[in-house]
């Protein structure tokens, strides 16, 4: 289950920047309104993911995957 701790609507591009927490076994969402740079942290691994809107993928800054 993902718990969103922050959601900020960006009217300029109709997206929402989100920050939240999840487990490594949770599916990471890719809604059409997710803003570039949104952040998810896995509580069980400590890995941090950022959303790349251009590819629709969650990436870790250290590995790029």
Contact 17, 35 (CB under 8 A): yes
pLDDT in tens, the chain (65 residues): 999 999 999 888 899 999 999 999 999 999 999 999 999 999 999 999 999 999 999 999 766 55
pTM for the model stands at 0.86
Task: Classify each residue of 29-57 as buried b or exposed e, where b means 16 or more C-beta atoms within 10 Å of its C-beta.
Answer: eeeeebbeebbbebeeeeeebebeeeeee
pLDDT at 40: 97
Per-residue pLDDT, 64: 56
């Amino acid at each position: 289950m993902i718990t969103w701790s922050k959601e900020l609507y960006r009217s300029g591009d109709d997206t929402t920047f989100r920050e939240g927490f999840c487990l490594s076994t949770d599916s990471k969402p890719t809604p059409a309104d997710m803003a570039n740079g949104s952040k998810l942290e896995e509580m069980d691994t400590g890995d941090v993911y950022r959303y790349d809107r251009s590819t629709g993928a969650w990436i870790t800054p250290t590995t790029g995957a």
